[in-house]
Chains A and B, each alone.
Chain A
Amino acid sequence: MSVETREARQPWILLSPALGAVALLLFVPLVFIAVYSFWLRTATGADQVGFFLDNWAEALTDEFYRDILLNTLKIAAITTLVCALMGYPAAYFIARSKGNKAVLLLLLMLPFWISYIIRTMSWINILGVSGAVNWLLTGLGIVSEPVQMLYNETTVILGLVHFLLPFMVLNVFVSLDGIDTTLEDAANSLGATKWQAFLQVTLPLSLPGLAAGGLLCFVLGAGTYITPLVLGGPTDAMFANLVFEAIITQLNWPLGSALSLMLLAVLGALVLIYNRYLGMAQLMKGLG
């Protein structure tokens, strides 16, 4: 074997465990799901093997699914916006703090040590009828009866922000941390106020991080079913809840497969658009 072929093969040898895992754990199941989506669930509850377009016809034409998809995208968009507005200042603070950066980043990671489901359910103890806020309000005599604050769209967004904010902060932080602070000094020396220097220099240079954080928040937010399940009301279902419902509750794997592929296609398209304009490199930087 010549040196060139050995060198050409080396990256593939190094990549093979990862490629194997992706193929086995992601690509193969995805093909199964795709195949499933063309099967049909009969009235008896048995799956009929074949090539049927019924599930796809239902998923693509039923307005119920379309409305929930749009609502899902709306909730994900609002969540992303809130995360950006809340996360940017936090990331800026961490990036510009001297010395205790590592501690602040550790604090940011801390929530990941507790299960996402537990974190979501903790809101019931805070906002629920017998939760902390109601206990305080009734205790202080501000309200006579506990107020129902849970199980609406706002609490779903609240839960999603709680879940996704660290992703935004981390991405923006990585971006801000890579910006040379003398650029702001230079802008100041040329006559820009601190705020003008931020708008002219720091903000534009941190946009890739903001965009990467935004994409992550949006995709993760749009794909979740736990938060609306725990914190949403009956009308607050998101698209992933439909998949959950079809597969777990109704055991209708073919329809659930079609629906999940639909969500995958929509989010995949968004990632492609992002990649077209901002590139995946920044996203990778943010994740690394």
Chain B
Amino acid sequence: MSSVILRDIVKRFGSFTAVEKTSLEIPEGEFVTLLGPSGCGKTTTLRMIAGLLDPTEGDIEIKGKRFNDIPIHKRNLGIVFQNYALFPHKTVAENVAFGLKYRDVPRDEAARRVAEALALVQLPDVGDRYPKQLSGGQQQRIALARAIVIEPDVLLLDEPLSALDANLREDMRVELKRIQDRIGVTTVFVTHDQSEALAMSDQIVVMSDGRVEQVGPPQEVYNTPASEFVAQFLGASNILPARCTARANGHVALDSDVFGQIDVPAEKAPLVVGEGPAKLVLRAEKLLLAALDTPANGEIAVDATVETVDYQGQAVRYFVRAGDAQLQAINMIDQRPFSEGAQVSLRLRPQDCAALPA
């Protein structure tokens, strides 16, 4: 059963269209991420589900009921805001108990549920403190506790991790997913961070310019991007002009200037139909640099020159030139990276390639 359904939702602000005709079904209990760069319409979509914005056109259904005209305070949704939005003049316990006041929960049951929620976010002892006395990560946990203590039909998370620093963000990512698994609430998560989306989601909805580019599980969206935008946005990709010359035996033969013919598995080129111009998608992480004399075992090998080296510790981002094309490669390394100007052999496996229609 679908928990949240968006039917042909449109949101315009004056002449600007923030969200173009979008339809989406979110199954019960799933963790769905709206992913895209800023201005792609992901937050606008979330705010429409929340009831903070009214859609210009289209219907929003939650649990089989049309929600368009239901005011926000009757929607029973848990929202975690980017800046936490904790009430600074109320203690942590009062913050968490806030939603229970409007649900006729008896006092002792409310106290028990607040304690449970605080235990769930692993902050059982901060009930009588004020939000300002807590760290950013702790405030975020309290905001989460406040949103889930009301047992919402849907949990809406608006970039909840973006205000945290990098290490804390990764901890909270794991924590948030653990809590969501535990309570099994349908969750809509908005982020611009692809690694958060890939790590946490059951389904990723990639958005760009107010449109949905692709919907699918993380591996599918990552491995088989449905558009050039998705390929570029989720990790770094090289996109090369190519020609589809044949389609047979579960393979699509793609001919490009740099690599010659590559037999891309058909399931990684679902949108390429027939012969003619196409685009070859090469993930930067799948493009490996090797010393010139390394034997190629079944891989495609092309000579290239290293142009730029961007050293990042355990990984290096190279920009290499092969023929007319400049390509990006992100390689894990355990020793010294290749130096700029070095002649190398570029390696890639056909099954790591994907193809898009031109």
Q: Using an 8 Å CB-CB cutoff, how does the interface string of A175-187 with B read, 1 for contact, 0 for none?
A: 0000010110111
Tell me if A148 is interfacial: C-beta within 8 Å of chain B.
no
Contacts of A204 in B (CB 8 A): 89
Q: Which chain A residues (179-209) contact chain B, with CB distance < 8 Å? A: 180, 182-183, 185-194, 196, 200-201, 204-205
Q: Is A183 a contact of B87 with CB atoms below 8 Å?
A: yes
Contacts of A201 in B (CB 8 A): 87
In the assembled complex, the Cα of A201 lies from the Cα of B72 at a distance in Å of: 16
CB nearest neighbor in B for A179: B88
In the assembled complex, the Cα of A186 lies from the Cα of B74 at a distance in Å of: 13
Instruction: From B29-37, B98-106, B174-182, B210-218, give the one contacting chain A.
Output: B98-106
Q: Which chain B residues (75-131) contact chain A, with CB distance < 8 Å? A: 75-79, 81, 83, 85-89, 98-99, 101-103
Tell me if B336 is interfacial: C-beta within 8 Å of chain A.
no
In the assembled complex, the Cα of A192 lies from the Cα of B76 at a distance in Å of: 11
CB nearest neighbor in B for A186: B85
In the assembled complex, the Cα of A187 lies from the Cα of B101 at a distance in Å of: 11
Tell me if B289 is interfacial: C-beta within 8 Å of chain A.
no
Q: Is B150 a contact of A191 with CB atoms below 8 Å?
A: yes
Q: Is B52 a contact of A193 with CB atoms below 8 Å?
A: no
Contacts of A193 in B (CB 8 A): 71, 73
Tell me if B50 is interfacial: C-beta within 8 Å of chain A.
yes
Q: Using an 8 Å CB-CB cutoff, how does the interface string of B306-347 with A read, 1 for contact, 0 for none?
A: 000000000000000000000000000000000000000000
Contacts of A182 in B (CB 8 A): 81, 83, 85
In the assembled complex, the Cα of A204 lies from the Cα of B98 at a distance in Å of: 15
Q: Is A188 a contact of B88 with CB atoms below 8 Å?
A: no
In the assembled complex, the Cα of A200 lies from the Cα of B89 at a distance in Å of: 10
Interface SS majority for chain A: helix
Contacts of A187 in B (CB 8 A): 87, 98
Contacts of B147 in A (CB 8 A): 189
Q: Is A188 a contact of B73 with CB atoms below 8 Å?
A: yes
Q: Using an 8 Å CB-CB cutoff, how does the interface string of B262-291 with A read, 1 for contact, 0 for none?
A: 000000000000000000000000000000
Contacts of B89 in A (CB 8 A): 204-205
> For this complex, into which size category does the number of interface residues on chain B fall?
20 to 34
Tell me if B42 is interfacial: C-beta within 8 Å of chain A.
no
In the assembled complex, the Cα of A189 lies from the Cα of B50 at a distance in Å of: 8
Q: Is A180 a contact of B73 with CB atoms below 8 Å?
A: no
Q: Is B102 a contact of A183 with CB atoms below 8 Å?
A: no
Q: Is A185 a contact of B88 with CB atoms below 8 Å?
A: no
Tell me if B243 is interfacial: C-beta within 8 Å of chain A.
no
Q: Is A185 a contact of B73 with CB atoms below 8 Å?
A: no
Q: Which chain A residues (199-228) contact chain B, with CB distance < 8 Å? A: 200-201, 204-205
Tell me if B146 is interfacial: C-beta within 8 Å of chain A.
yes
- Please report the total number of A residues contacting B with Cβ < 8 Å: 18
Please give the distance in Å from B254's CB to the nearest CB on chain A: 49
Q: Is A188 a contact of B85 with CB atoms below 8 Å?
A: no
Q: Is A189 a contact of B78 with CB atoms below 8 Å?
A: yes
In the assembled complex, the Cα of A200 lies from the Cα of B145 at a distance in Å of: 19
Contacts of B71 in A (CB 8 A): 188, 193
In the assembled complex, the Cα of A28 lies from the Cα of B53 at a distance in Å of: 60
Partner of A185, one of B75, B81, B86: B81
In the assembled complex, the Cα of A194 lies from the Cα of B71 at a distance in Å of: 10
In the assembled complex, the Cα of A82 lies from the Cα of B211 at a distance in Å of: 52
Contacts of B85 in A (CB 8 A): 180, 182-183, 185-186
In the assembled complex, the Cα of A44 lies from the Cα of B47 at a distance in Å of: 81
Q: Is B98 a contact of A189 with CB atoms below 8 Å?
A: no
In the assembled complex, the Cα of A191 lies from the Cα of B87 at a distance in Å of: 15
In the assembled complex, the Cα of A191 lies from the Cα of B98 at a distance in Å of: 9
In the assembled complex, the Cα of A214 lies from the Cα of B220 at a distance in Å of: 62
In the assembled complex, the Cα of A201 lies from the Cα of B52 at a distance in Å of: 17
Q: Given A182-B83, A185-B79, A205-B88, are A190 and B50 neighbors across the interface (CB < 8 Å)?
A: no
Please give the distance in Å from A154's CB to the nearest CB on chain B: 37
Q: Is A190 a contact of B81 with CB atoms below 8 Å?
A: no
Partner of A191, one of B50, B52, B103: B103
CB nearest neighbor in B for A184: B85
Partner of B102, one of A185, A191, A194, A205: A191
Contacts of B102 in A (CB 8 A): 190-192, 196
Contacts of A188 in B (CB 8 A): 51-52, 71-73
In the assembled complex, the Cα of A29 lies from the Cα of B249 at a distance in Å of: 102
CB nearest neighbor in A for B77: A189
Contacts of B88 in A (CB 8 A): 205
Partner of A189, one of B79, B87, B103: B79
In the assembled complex, the Cα of A190 lies from the Cα of B103 at a distance in Å of: 9
Contacts of A205 in B (CB 8 A): 88-89
CB nearest neighbor in B for A207: B89
In the assembled complex, the Cα of A232 lies from the Cα of B311 at a distance in Å of: 81
In the assembled complex, the Cα of A200 lies from the Cα of B87 at a distance in Å of: 9
Contacts of A183 in B (CB 8 A): 85, 87
Contacts of B86 in A (CB 8 A): 186
Q: Is B83 a contact of A190 with CB atoms below 8 Å?
A: no
Residues of B in contact with A (beta carbons under 8 Å apart) = 50-52, 71-79, 81, 83, 85-89, 98-99, 101-103, 146-147, 150
15 A-B residue pairs with Cβ-Cβ distance under 8 Å, sorted by A, are: A180-B85, A185-B79, A186-B81, A186-B146, A188-B71, A188-B73, A189-B73, A189-B77, A189-B147, A190-B98, A190-B99, A191-B73, A191-B74, A192-B98, A205-B88
Listed from nearest, the 6 A-B pairs whose CB atoms lie closest are: A191-B102, A190-B99, A186-B85, A189-B79, A182-B85, A188-B72
Residues of A in contact with B (beta carbons under 8 Å apart) = 180, 182-183, 185-194, 196, 200-201, 204-205
